[in-house]
């Protein structure tokens, strides 16, 4: 009887587990559910003979369901991915212009070639640069792909814009495209393949040296053109009181003003130093330096360096001059140490005497470099006429004209304000001296006569001269008074 009661209790527990769902699998929605089939009920064993209560085994504890069959919490629903970040406003404002450049000729570019693409305001090549793309090609050949991103805030509404590309070789434009019109209101622009053509050399071209820069002026067909600072400007003639003056097409802030063998150059409102003809140094040539003292002499046959106040001497046959942009170099393998002299075409002032020279000079040998000045200081005075702007700090009388013209024979002449004059001059290592002027004997207004008298007086007292940063000539008298003059 007790055995039957135990069996009935076990059956009740099984039925209760089925009713409460314990031991069933919960569908998560991730994979299709499996069909649960009831396990066959084991056959009921035959009743064993009833034993005494003291020999009956203790009832087995209820075994918990396996963890894999426990009910699992429903997973959280997957969240959507966050929105990608929006581009910044300024990127949305950019105008992308892409394309490529190539030429038809089967010519390889040198390793130092570089490419440039410019977007300019206006229809031609003289307008303001709005955006620029540059790349060193490093051996790459045409076609050259480019992409120029332009800030729309820099574009002028309603104005025309043009795009032009070029390839530079050796720092100079060698290939160039024709300018093409660009619509700044477009969302993006693909200009396709731009054809590069050879840059035509300037006819009747002249190269001038402007301090440590140079400018080339000449003609291509009927167009007057200037190459300055790595850029090319088409010019048009404008009226001027003297000389021949030109302005860049579409850019009056860029100009070339020729005055005899010299010129004044302004690039986008920035005035360059006075431009003079590019000349190879004439021989013999001498350069000197201080601390320690040294001297270099270059003749048609030999190049000789005396350094360390005369304790070091190096001599070699004069090599062929190597001209460069703004300099000339002499390179000689002297006594196994090498001797290289570089003569730069810009003004230099001696650190001890204050004397101006036409050339900055560096000399390299045996791992050392010496710096100094060279050339003939008299060449800074000779050439075009100087017009006096100030005498002893008093200025000059309105509409008066006093001038100085230095010649190679050691004479200086000109107008004194009323009369013509002439005098002798000489330059030494210490400075400049001018003899007492001889003049005609005309009579003029008292103000002009007084100015002329003071001018002649100071000329006879001149002891040195300087060239200031603006290119003006300043004559210094022994008592500190000065005469200032400038080439027109």
DSSP 300-343: SSEEEEEETTTTEEEEEEPPPPEEETTEEEEEE--TTT-EEEEE
275, β-bridge pairs: 210, 263
**Over 80: is that where the pLDDT of 415 sits?**
yes
Q: Which is higher by pLDDT, 80 or 301?
A: 301
Q: Where are the alpha helices (DSSP H) in 55-96?
A: 89-92
Average pLDDT over residues 201-228: 79
Euclidean distance between CA atoms 410 and 136, whole angstroms: 52
User: How is residue 143 annotated by DSSP?
Assistant: S
Contact assessment for residue 481 and residue 475, using Cβ atoms and an 8 Å cutoff: no
Euclidean distance between CA atoms 149 and 161, whole angstroms: 14
Exposed e or buried b per residue across 171-194, where buried means at least 16 C-beta atoms within 10 angstroms of its C-beta: eebbbbbebeebebeeeebebeeb
213, β-bridge pairs: 210
Best mean pLDDT range from 172-186, 288-302, 473-487: 473-487
Euclidean distance between CA atoms 477 and 410, whole angstroms: 19
Q: Establish whether the linkage from the previous residue to 284 is cis, with ω within 30° of 0.
A: yes
Average pLDDT over residues 423-436: 91
Mean pLDDT score of the chain:
80
Average pLDDT over residues 384-397: 93
Helix and strand numbers (H, E) in the chain are 4, 38
Q: At 189, list the tokens.
A: 């622009």
Average pLDDT over residues 93-104: 92
| CA proximity to 462, closest of 404, 409, 379 | 404
């Amino acid at each position: 009887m007790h055995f039957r009661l135990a069996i009935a209790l076990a059956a009740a527990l099984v039925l209760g587990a089925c009713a409460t769902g314990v031991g069933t699998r919960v569908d998560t929605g991730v994979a299709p559910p499996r069909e649960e089939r009831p396990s066959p009920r084991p056959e009921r064993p035959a009743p064993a003979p009833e034993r005494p209560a003291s020999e009956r085994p203790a009832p087995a504890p209820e075994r918990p369901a396996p963890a894999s069959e426990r009910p699992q919490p429903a997973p959280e629903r997957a969240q959507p991915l966050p929105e990608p970040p929006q581009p910044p406003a300024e990127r949305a404002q950019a105008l992308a212009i892409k394309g490529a450049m190539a030429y038809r000729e089967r010519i390889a570019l040198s390793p130092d070639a570089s490419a440039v693409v410019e977007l300019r305001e206006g229809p031609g090549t003289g307008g303001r640069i709005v955006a620029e793309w540059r790349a060193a090609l490093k051996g790459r050949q045409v076609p050259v792909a480019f992409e120029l991103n332009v800030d729309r805030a820099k574009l002028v509404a309603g104005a025309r814009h043009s795009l032009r590309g070029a390839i530079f070789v050796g720092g100079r434009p060698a290939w160039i495209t024709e300018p093409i019109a660009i619509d700044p209101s477009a969302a993006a622009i693909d200009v396709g393949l731009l054809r590069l053509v050879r840059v035509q050399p300037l006819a009747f071209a002249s190269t001038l040296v402007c301090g440590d820069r140079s400018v080339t002026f000449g003609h291509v067909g009927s167009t007057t053109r200037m190459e300055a600072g790595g850029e090319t400007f088409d010019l048009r003639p404008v009226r001027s009181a003297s000389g021949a003056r030109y302005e860049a097409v579409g850019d009056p802030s860029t100009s070339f003003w020729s005055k005899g063998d010299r010129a004044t150059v302004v690039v986008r409102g920035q005035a360059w130093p006075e431009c003079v003809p590019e000349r190879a140094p004439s021989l013999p040539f001498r350069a000197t330096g201080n601390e320690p003292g040294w001297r270099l002499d270059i003749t048609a046959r030999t190049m000789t360096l005396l350094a360390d106040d005369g304790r070091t001497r190096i001599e070699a046959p004069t090599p062929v001059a190597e001209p460069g942009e703004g300099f000339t170099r002499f390179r000689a393998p002297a006594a196994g140490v090498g001797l290289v002299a570089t003569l730069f075409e810009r003004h230099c002032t001696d650190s001890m005497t204050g004397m101006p020279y036409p050339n900055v000079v560096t000399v390299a040998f045996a791992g050392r470099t010496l710096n100094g000045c060279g050339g003939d200081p008299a060449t800074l005075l000779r050439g075009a006429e100087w017009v006096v702007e100030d005498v002893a700090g008093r200025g000059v009388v309105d509409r008066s004209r006093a001038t100085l013209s230095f010649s190679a024979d050691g004479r200086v002449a000109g107008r004194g304000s009323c009369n013509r004059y002439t005098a002798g001059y000489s330059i030494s290592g210490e400075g400049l001296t001018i003899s007492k002027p001889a003049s005609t004997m005309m009579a003029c207004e008292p103000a002009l006569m007084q100015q002329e008298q003071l001018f002649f007086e100071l000329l006879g007292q001149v002891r040195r001269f300087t060239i200031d940063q603006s290119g003006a000539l300043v004559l210094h008298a022994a008592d500190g008074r000065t005469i200032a003059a400038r080439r027109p």
